[in-house]
Structure 1
C-alpha cells in the first residue's frame, strides 16, 4: 500500500517527464497528450516547468514504465 512518503506519489520534474516520454515511446507532446487525454499545450506547460505535473498523471506514467520493465 502506498504511503505519504511513497516516491510514486510525488509530482514529476520536467526532466523526469521527458525521460518518461522517451521510455514509453511518445515522440511528441501531442503523442503523450492524446494518450492521457490532455491538450498538447498542457504537456508543453509541464515540460517547461510552468505548471506541475499532476500527481495522478505522474503516478500513471511511473506505473506504465514499471509495467513495461517487468519480464513476463
Structure 2
C-alpha cells in the first residue's frame, strides 16, 4: 500500500535535492550559504552539507523554502 507522502499532491512534503535547493536559493535572492543560513536559522555548515548532498534537507526546511518560492511567484 503506497503512503500518502508518495502521492503527487504531497510532493511538497518530500525532502529537497541539492539542485532544487540551489534553485530555491537563487529564486529567493540568497547569493551565499551564509545568507540562506541566517534567513532560516541554521548554520552555514548545515547549508553546505545540504548543497553537497551529504545530508538531506530536513522536510520542514524544504517545505518552508517551497512555500516561500511559491509565494514569491504569486506576488508578481
Give TM-score scaled by structure 1 length: 0.92
Whole-angstrom CA distance in 2 between matches of 1:13 and 1:55 = 11
- 1:5-47: CA deviations, max 9, x gaps? 3010000000000000000000000000000000000000000
* Residue in 2 that maps onto 1:33: 37
SS of the residue aligned with 1:26? coil
Structure 2's unaligned 5+ residue stretches are none
SS in 1 for 2:36: helix
- Bigger Rg, which one: 2
Of 41, 60, 63, which residue of structure 2 is paired with 1:59?
Answer: 63
* Counterpart position of 1:43: 47
Q: TM-score, normalised by structure 2?
A: 0.87
- Aligned-residue CA RMSD in angstroms? 1.2
Count of residues paired in the alignment: 70
